[in-house]
Each structure stands twice: as C-alpha cells, then as structure tokens.
Amino acid sequence: MGYTLTEKILMRNTGKSSLQAGELLTVKADKVMVHDLFAPFVIEKFREMGFQKVWAPDKIVFVYDHLVPTSFSEDSRHHKIADGFATEQGIKAVHRSDGVCHQLMPELKYVIPGQVAFGTDSHTTTYGAVGALATGIGYTEMAAIFGTGELWIKVPPTLKFNINGNLPEGVFAKDLILRIIGDIGADGATYKAMEFGGTTIEGFSIASRMTLSNMAVEAGAKFGVIEPDEKTYEFSGIDGGDYQNLRSDPDAGYEKVYTYDATVLRPLVACPSNVDNIKGAEEMRGTRIDQGFIGSCTNGRLEDLEIAARILKGRKIAPYTKLIVTPASRSIYAEAVRKGIISILVEAGAIVNPPACGLCCGRSGGIVADGERVIAANNRNFLGRMGGPKSEIFLASPATVTASALEGKIVDPRNYFS
C-alpha cells in the first residue's frame, strides 16, 4: 500500500522509509509562529524549562495580530515582552501590525511545500494550502520547540475529499468547506488529516485553497492539506522540480474517501452556535442581521474583497446595518487600495479596519452586543465569540455576507451574480 501526502511529508521530515497511522514520531520543526496573545506564556514556559537560547532564531516568527490595535492597556505588555525576547534571542522575523499570522506565514514564504510547521493558534492548519503540514499547539509545547526544535506527534489517518466540477456562480470555497463540515460534523476529522483534491481544487486559487485548509480544524482535523502544483510553486517562489513526490500515491491508504460534485453546491450558512449547523442561504432568507463581517485568516484575502466590491459597487448598505471589512494583511490592503476596491467599499458604507484578527477573536473592531446578529466570513460562531454571549453569529461566504449587509437580512447572493 502506498502513502498519503501527509505521510510523505512526515517521512521526508524524519527520514523514515515507512510509517503507519497511529505511529508516534519525533519531528523537526521547519518553522514556528507565535502570535502576540500567547507570546508571554511561551516565553515564561521557555524560561521555566531552564532553556537559555532558542534552537534556531531564524525559524521563529512573531506576529502581532490578535492585540492590534491594542484595546486594553495590558495588551501593550504582550508586545513589549515579545520585543524584549526577540531582541535577546536574535529573532529577526517580528511582524507588528502587518496582518493576520496565518495569512503572513504563506504570503511571506515562511512556510513552503513539504515543511512541517507549528503555531500557537488552531488555524495554523491554513498552511496546508501550500502543501505543508501545519497545526496549532499550546504554549507549553511551543516552549519545548523553542528549546529543542522538536515535537512528537502521532501519524494521523487521512480522510480524502475529491471535489470535481466548477462551482456555480455565487458559490465559493467557503460554501464548499461548510458543506463538508456539515456532512462529517464538527468532530468528524478529530486528529485526522483532511486531504482535498479533484478538478475543483486544481482550479482554485491559493487563496481559496487557504479557506479550505483553514477550516479543516473546525472538523477537528490535525492537518488540512492540498497537493502542491504549479500555482503553489509560483506562490511560494520555488522551483517545483524538487517537490514532485509531494503527492499521495495512487494506492494510498485512506480511512475514508468522500466525493463531491461541485456543480450542485449552493450558498450555505452555518447557524448559531455550531459550525456544523448548516442550512442553505435561501432557507435562512429574511433573517434580520445587524452586522456583516468580511475578514480573518479565512476570508480576508484580495479575492474576497473583490467579491464584496463587485456586489457593493453603486449600492448602499442597508440602514441600521454595519459592514466591517478587515483585510488579512497590509499587502492585501495596499493592493485593494490600488485597485479601487477600498473606495467602492467605503462609498457603499462599509467600515474598513487595519489588518488584524480583530472582530474574529472578539478583541476589537466591531464587537456586537447581546441580542445582535452578525453574519461573518470567518471561521467560528461559538457563543460569545464576537461579543455578547447572547449575540448570534452566522458564518457564510464573503458574497453571502455582503449581499446580506446590503439588504439587512440574510439573502441568497446568487441574485447578484446573474
């Protein structure tokens, strides 16, 4: 029996010629990321463990995104502690307000195909979109990596998702991943790898692929991976010749294979307060909303802002409704300005925030009150995620979010693409 993409990358990392699901391995970290929220805790644990020097300063990236701009005086303490540690240890890759960590790591080519990466955030799975194995860990585990460069993991079984055909107009990668999570459940891939393939995925941009890998963790996945191809190599700035073996074998052993026809998919909404509580946008038509949100490491990329601008051009957001837009990185924001996208959003009445996690993690940038409803393009709709514990969060694609903000109620966005 052959090997899956996940197993191939683990074999590449460890030098093993064979392995199997359930086996315990000690892997070497190619890159690690710590964001500002957890930086002080990682540093404290690092010192408690008795380490003096990090194993490789050039393999550590600090990103300030959860507490940017600072909302509480204590937030600045996190940044000062991280700055001091980075200076002491010679860590040069420190990004202050450059964007969301999971956008920056692939965008700035810190993570490339075939690597194994860890981050102090569950959505580190995003990097699987460029053919890497990446997952979120706690700050104690990260402190151990800081000191040793290694971490043990268990080889996960792989679920394969074959998706073929072109998505209909008004249907996007977010709708696809919501459909998958709705089918397998929020615990359907717990400590498993989700591998996405098929002609639909081949046609996706890297940005759309990142949406899939990002939300793999919402089904409990350890990894969410996609085989690298020419699009990946160009995005990552590498010669693909050395990466041709980074693909699953034809006889790879999957725990289960799922097959989807992309042509029949429709716009979907994850209803409060579980990400697998999936309904069609047309079923939720008319549900009043108070606010829309486009942003985060799931859907704050340029193509997402372009979709919003396409719908909003020449139109105005509904009265008593807010639309918060937060680009995922500084470069995305700048490109959206150059293309006139930001002007269209602002003229329609949207509020544009600086690149950061902001509303997605409930820290700043549009917190909602009890009794309010928000439809959002991010990844989680847990109780209290975006503010008051009695607020309601609906998850959807940027198209559905934008169309709903225009009408002040949930609508099917396909009417805006005809």
What confidence score (pLDDT) does residue 399 get? 98
- The pair of three-digit structure tokens given for residue 358, joined into one six-digit string: 């902001």
Phi/psi at 248 (nearest 5 deg)? -65, 145
Region 7-31: mean pLDDT is: 97
What confidence score (pLDDT) does residue 326 get? 97
Kindly tell me if the per-residue pLDDT of 397 is higher than 90. Answer: yes
pTM (2 d.p.): 0.97
Q: Which position has the higher pLDDT, 59 or 361?
A: 59
Q: Give residue-wise pLDDT tens across range 53-86.
A: 999 999 999 999 999 999 998 999 999 999 999 9
> Domains of the chain (ranges plus CATH)?
5-14+23-237+252-262 (3.30.499.10), 269-416 (3.30.499.10)
Strands annotated E in 46-137: 60-64, 94-96, 116-119, 133-136
| Secondary structure (3-state) at 123 | helix
What confidence score (pLDDT) does residue 364 get? 86
Region 316-332: mean pLDDT is: 98
What confidence score (pLDDT) does residue 31 get? 98
418 pLDDT tier (thresholds 50, 70, 90): confident
49 pLDDT tier (thresholds 50, 70, 90): very high
Region 106-134: mean pLDDT is: 98
Nearest of 205, 233, 252 to residue 19 by alpha carbon: 252
Angle, CA 135 vertex, CA 330 and CA 376 arms, to 5° = 50
Region 203-223: mean pLDDT is: 98
Give the other-Cβ count within 10 Å of 394's Cβ.
25
DSSP string, 321-349: -EEEEE-SBHHHHHHHHHTTHHHHHHHTT
Kindly tell me if the per-residue pLDDT of 210 is higher than 90. Answer: yes
Q: Give residue-wise pLDDT tens across range 99-117.
A: 999 999 999 999 999 999 9
Phi/psi at 101 (nearest 5 deg)? -50, -45
CA dihedral 409, 413, 414, 415 (to 10 degrees): 50
Compute the distance between CA of residue 322 and CA of residue 85 in angstroms, rounded to an integer: 40
Strands annotated E in 165-310: 193-197, 223-226, 256-261, 268-270, 278-280, 291-295
What confidence score (pLDDT) does residue 1 get? 86
What confidence score (pLDDT) does residue 363 get? 83
Region 159-182: mean pLDDT is: 98
What confidence score (pLDDT) does residue 389 get? 94
Nearest of 360, 231, 226 to residue 298 by alpha carbon: 360
